[in-house]
């Protein structure tokens, strides 16, 4: 695996791949890799000739009161894991490389960026869309792999690629869970052992909603009440949002007769966690 820190070198390495007629897969990350990220690398390797990964903790997507400084940074361990998995290129730019002094251009997917996590984290999706647009221009991948856990992010990025006619296919891979159902996240590292137990409430709330759907409930308002009730019963958790929305527009749906995304965000201690399930005709 070749590790590259400059944009010029990364562009040259990626262009060599595509000029040689090989397909290039790309897995953008902020590091602190877990099984969820690794599943994206596996998916890229299965589908593409060459796999590039980036590790960049993007300051632009963190609000002023958020965890930019304490965000876990485990570069040596991450590099070893990616090497073991057989990633080909690792891009690890510094902040000044990505945002040189004087940079003034941002990418905003209007509307979508204010929904779900965007409503709770103003500016977050502008930061995500800006860095991903830059990374896509540097790498110019054929396929880019993201996790379904960040469902709102996936919707924003699908729209970005569509609206800007980018030649990349966004591939969204299933959520990877711990044995007890907790969705894998770099932020799980913040949890104490007691909070780690409490954090399972997110998935439990989603399972309860899924069970109600399986028993015939279709009314989103009722399903949301069921989910909220489960969160409210966990003393260690504080709800941010519980929503049932369209997968692409992120607009609320009144009933779940068609495909719907059930999404939850909650604080466990000061750690904000998210999770979701997709309800489809076949899951009933």
Backbone angles phi, psi at 127, to 5 degrees: -65, -40
Nearer to ligand PAF, 30 or 41 (CB): 30
Separation in Å, CA 189 to CA 71, 145, 171: 10, 23, 26
Minimum distance of ligand PAF from residue 256's CB (angstroms): 26
Q: Say what angle helices 201-214 and 220-232 make with each other, to 10 degrees.
A: 150
Residue carrying structure tokens 């110019």: 140
Nearer to ligand PAF, 29 or 92 (CB): 29
* CA angle (264 as vertex; 283, 30 as ends), nearest 5: 105
Helix (H) or strand (E) holding 268: strand 260-268
Nearer to ligand PAF, 140 or 218 (CB): 140
Minimum distance of ligand PAF from residue 282's CB (angstroms): 27
Nearer to ligand PAF, 54 or 200 (CB): 54
Report the alpha-carbon distance of residue 6 to residue 44 in Å, rounded: 23
Report the alpha-carbon distance of residue 17 to residue 82 in Å, rounded: 19
Cβ–Cβ < 8 Å for 173, 146 = yes
Window 7-46: contact mask with ligand PAF (x via CB under 6 A): ---------------------xxx----------------
Name the 3-class secondary structure at 71. coil
Cβ–Cβ < 8 Å for 258, 236 = no
Nearer to ligand PAF, 144 or 262 (CB): 144
Minimum distance of ligand PAF from residue 244's CB (angstroms): 23
Window 46-65: contact mask with ligand PAF (x via CB under 6 A): ------------x--x----
Window 119-138: contact mask with ligand PAF (x via CB under 6 A): ---------x--xx------
Is 42 considered catalytic here?
A: no
Q: Is 92 in the site for ligand PAF (CB under 6 A)?
A: no
Separation in Å, CA 11 to CA 88, 125, 143: 14, 25, 16
The catalytic residue among 34, 37, 215, 229 is: 37
Q: Is 90 in the site for ligand PAF (CB under 6 A)?
A: no
Report the alpha-carbon distance of residue 77 to residue 80 in Å, rounded: 5
Minimum distance of ligand PAF from residue 131's CB (angstroms): 5
Cβ–Cβ < 8 Å for 108, 132 = no
Minimum distance of ligand PAF from residue 144's CB (angstroms): 9
Minimum distance of ligand PAF from residue 150's CB (angstroms): 5
Nearer to ligand PAF, 30 or 230 (CB): 30
Q: Which residues are catalytic?
A: 37
Binding site for ligand PAF (CB under 6 A): 28-30, 58, 61, 128, 131-132, 150, 153
């Amino acid at each position: 695996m070749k590790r590259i820190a400059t944009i010029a070198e990364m562009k040259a390495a990626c262009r060599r791949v595509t000029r040689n007629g090989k397909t290039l897969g790309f897995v953008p990350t902020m590091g602190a890799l877990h099984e969820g990220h690794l599943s994206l690398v596996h998916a890229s390797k299965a589908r593409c000739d060459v796999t590039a990964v980036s590790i960049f903790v993007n300051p632009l997507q963190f609000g002023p009161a958020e965890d930019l400084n304490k965000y876990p940074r485990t570069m040596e361990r991450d590099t070893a894991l990616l090497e073991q998995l057989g990633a080909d290129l690792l891009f690890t730019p510094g902040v000044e490389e990505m945002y040189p002094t004087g940079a003034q251009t941002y990418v905003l997917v209007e509307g979508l960026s204010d929904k779900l996590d965007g409503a709770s984290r103003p500016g977050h999706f502008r930061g995500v869309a800006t860095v991903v647009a830059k990374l896509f221009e540097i790498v110019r991948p054929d396929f880019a792999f993201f996790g379904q856990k960040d469902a709102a992010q996936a919707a924003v990025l699908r729209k970005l690629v569509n609206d800007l006619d980018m030649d990349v296919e966004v591939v969204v891979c299933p959520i990877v869970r711990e044995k007890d159902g907790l969705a894998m996240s770099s932020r799980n590292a913040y949890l104490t052992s007691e909070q780690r137990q409490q954090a399972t409430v997110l998935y439990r709330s989603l399972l309860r909603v899924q069970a109600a759907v399986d028993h015939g409930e279709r009314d989103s308002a009722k399903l949301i009440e069921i989910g909220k009730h489960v969160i409210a019963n966990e003393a260690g958790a504080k709800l941010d949002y519980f929503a049932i929305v369209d997968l692409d527009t992120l607009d609320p749906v009144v009933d779940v007769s068609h495909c719907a995304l059930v999404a939850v965000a909650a604080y466990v201690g000061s750690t904000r966690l998210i999770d979701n399930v997709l309800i489809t005709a076949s899951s009933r």
